[in-house]
């Protein structure tokens, strides 16, 4: 994959975190994530016990330094960032995942793109991540022509029930 991306690989992790999908994939990163990660990486390189870890997020300030961050520490970090940003309610990484799926669709992304980026095998798993923006729903209704064409009828009485060749209703 060209440009900035993240490799997702399922493996046994000492921190208890794991990717649900068994297949490896590359996830593209956007222009906001790259400089934020660069800043983190510079901090990480300054911590000798953390510099050589191949985990994405490692402990830099609490023991065991250099070990992969446990999921509860990541949740706490995201919640604290939300508080510092002045959000009304706590935010979790999973809520950010839902927001990403919805924002991608609101920006014109397709459900199969959301499916791939979230790593879902099934579209039904992806559908629960899509929360349509009310403005987008309004726009969808506004796209319907003011004078829609009506479907043609088979005869004046309407189409009526279709019949099978053996005489039973379809």
Tell me how crowded residue 73 is: count the other CB atoms within 10 A of its CB.
Answer: 14
User: Helix %, strand %, coil % for the chain, to 5?
Assistant: 40, 5, 55
d(CA 139, CA 107) in angstroms, rounded, equals 13
**Whose CA is closest to 104, among 7, 166, 3, 27?**
27
Report whether 59 contacts 50 (CB < 8 A): yes
- Which token pair is 71? 């999921």
Interval 76-107: pLDDT, tens: 999 999 999 999 999 998 898 888 888 888 88
**Whose CA is closest to 118, among 98, 133, 95?**
98
Interval 54-80: pLDDT, tens: 888 899 988 999 988 888 888 999 999
pTM listed for this prediction:
0.67
């Amino acid at each position: 994959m060209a440009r900035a991306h993240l490799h997702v690989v399922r493996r046994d992790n000492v921190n208890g975190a794991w990717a649900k999908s068994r297949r490896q994939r590359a996830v593209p990163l956007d222009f906001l994530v790259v400089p934020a990660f660069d800043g983190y990486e510079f901090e990480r390189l300054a911590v000798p016990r953390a510099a050589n870890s191949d985990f994405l997020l490692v402990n830099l300030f609490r023991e065991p330094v250099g070990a992969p961050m446990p999921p509860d520490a990541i949740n706490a970090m995201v919640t604290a960032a939300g508080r510092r940003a002045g959000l009304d309610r706590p935010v979790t990484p999973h809520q950010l995942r839902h927001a990403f799926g919805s924002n991608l669709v609101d920006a014109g992304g397709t459900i199969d793109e959301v499916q791939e980026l979230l790593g879902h095998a099934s579209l039904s798993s992806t559908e629960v991540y899509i929360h349509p923006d009310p403005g987008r729903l309004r726009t969808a209704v506004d796209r319907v022509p003011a004078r829609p064409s009506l479907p043609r009828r088979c005869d004046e009485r309407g189409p009526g029930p279709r019949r099978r060749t053996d005489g039973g209703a379809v």
